[in-house]
Amino acid sequence: MKQHYDIVIVGGGMVGASLACALLQVAEQLDLKIAIVEAFPVAESALEYQPSYDARATALAYGSRTIYETMGLWETLREHLEPIQQIHVSDKGHFGATRLNAEDESVPALGYVVENHWLGRVLWDRLQQSDAAHVEFIAPAEVTDMSTGADSMEVTLSTEGQEHTLSCELVVMADGGRSELREKLGIGYTQTTYAQHAVVANVSPDRQHNNVAYERFTDTGPMALLPLETQKGRYRCGLVWTVPDEQIDEVMALSDHAFLEKLQERFGYRAGNFIAVGERASYPLKLVLADEQVRKGIVVLGNAAHALHPIAGQGYNLALRGVVALADKLIQARKEQVNLGDLGLLQSFYEQQRADQQKTIGFSDQTMKLFSNSSPLLALGRNIGLQVMDVCPPARTLFARAAMGLDAPAPKLK
């Protein structure tokens, strides 16, 4: 452990590791020293895919593919992911429906579904293969305190029962939606509860998914079904089912057979008959936004900065766009010999990202509220909108480009 780093990243999950990988390509050229503080021990590098029927997955927008290509990771990632060729959007009990098609938008896929453990393994493998002079893991460890100096941050770590103090120009907090450090620093947040839980599980239909993703709106909340890799001859789809708070205990207590019957009744037969379900998990749905995302010497990223409703699967893609925008700012600052914790620099980054955050958060929040409203007039209006989009290619393309993240600037990372 060094006494001083340029950047300390708190949290080695997908967001924190992606930031380190984004900076890795210029770390030697710019003599960057990066520390990743992770609460769990770091396993030895072994890029192995360990298949699991119940593996949780993330939807990557097509724009996120471009980001990982720029990092030089895409060719490895693509070994175990499933492309989304079509997206089918429908409103249960109503006539509205629209379909997005990759071929119509002249892209190889609208997005991709990757299992979280594979994405994490690819990121960590790249970092562990890097020069330890530029990227170092400090794990298992926890940041217990931070203070701001004139030109640097002082960071106190607890590791294996001992305390250590180090300094850095910038601390990046990427320690998730339950960030204790965020609360310890007095960074407040606004929170809107949706009175809903998300039920997450992998399910098997009796037929191939043909790389179709479904977004199904119902009177009790949206449902998403994402294509996953087939395993051991079993077709798999990732399910995210929004359930009202008052029904969550009942749904989670159902037997597998009863769960599949209720799912079939809610979702319909577009994807076939559901014949198997794996382990189920649930979590409450909230819109959370940190009151401060930058301070002198501090940036808050990922779920520690913003947590969205899972509708449209935009949460991680928004975080990843923030990651590369910050990396580009830091690279430019280093070239110009500007302190990486400079408040003006970090505020410039936040102002640049705020519009993207407002647009993405607003879209997911308003869409959820619109399709959860039982008003007949609103139902008519939203279904007319879906039908118009289905028959109007320009409108469909505008929607598709936004969903694919193609309206954001491409990263430079050099």
**What is d(CA 259, CA 368) in angstroms, rounded to the nearest whole number?**
24
- Token digits for 229? 């890799």
**157 sits in which H/E element:** strand 153-159
Q: CA geometry: angle at 37 spanning 33 and 40, to 5°?
A: 145
- Residues sharing a CB contact under 8 Å with residue 127, sequence separation 6 or more, in sequence order: 17, 20, 21, 24, 36, 135, 137
Cα 166 to chain centroid, rounded:
30
Of 111, 96, 387, the C-alpha closest to 217 is: 96
Q: Which residues of the chain have pLDDT under 70?
A: 45, 93-96, 366-391, 393, 395, 399
Q: What is the DSSP string of 91-118?
A: ETTSS-EEEEETTTTTSS-SEEEEEHHH
Torsion of CA 54, 60, 66, 71, to 10 degrees: -50
**What is d(CA 358, CA 311) in angstroms, rounded to the nearest whole number?**
15
Tell me the angle at which helices 315-335 and 14-30 cross, rounded to the nearest 10 degrees: 20
**What is d(CA 127, CA 134) in angstroms, rounded to the nearest whole number?**
10
pLDDT of residue 230: 93
Helix, strand, coil share of the chain (percent; to 5)? 35, 30, 30
Model confidence over 141-179: pLDDT tens digits? 999 999 999 899 999 999 988 999 999 999 999 999 888
- Token digits for 386? 């879906």
**What is d(CA 131, CA 148) in angstroms, rounded to the nearest whole number?**
29
Alpha-helical (H) ranges within 190-247 are: none
Q: Which CATH number is 4-41+55-191+286-403's, of 3.30.465.10, 3.50.50.60, 3.40.50.1100, 1.10.599.10?
A: 3.50.50.60
CB 315 within 8 Å of CB 58? no
CB 289 within 8 Å of CB 364? no
Each residue of 146-177: b (16+ CB within 10 Å) or e?
beeeeebbebebeeeeeeeebebbbbbbbbbb
Measuring CA to CA, how many Å separate 399 from each of 142, 252, 338?
42, 34, 39
- Residues sharing a CB contact under 8 Å with residue 360, sequence separation 6 or more, in sequence order: 308, 314, 318
pLDDT of residue 362: 82
- Residues sharing a CB contact under 8 Å with residue 240, sequence separation 6 or more, in sequence order: 198, 199, 200, 223, 224, 226, 310
pLDDT of residue 279: 97
- Token digits for 248? 């969550």
Sign of CA dihedral 178, 181, 184, 187: negative
Task: Compute and round to an integer the Cα radius of gyration of the chain.
Answer: 22
- Token digits for 199? 């039920």
Of 100, 84, 67, 114, the C-alpha closest to 401 is: 100
Q: CA geometry: angle at 354 spanning 110 and 21, to 5°?
A: 60
pLDDT of residue 47: 85
Q: Where are the domains of the chain?
A: 4-41+55-191+286-403
**What is d(CA 322, CA 9) in angstroms, rounded to the nearest whole number?**
14
- Token digits for 279? 């382990």
* Residue type (1 letter), 9: I
Strands 221-231 and 294-295: unpaired
3-state secondary structure of 291: coil
**What is d(CA 318, CA 360) in angstroms, rounded to the nearest whole number?**
7
**143 sits in which H/E element:** strand 142-148
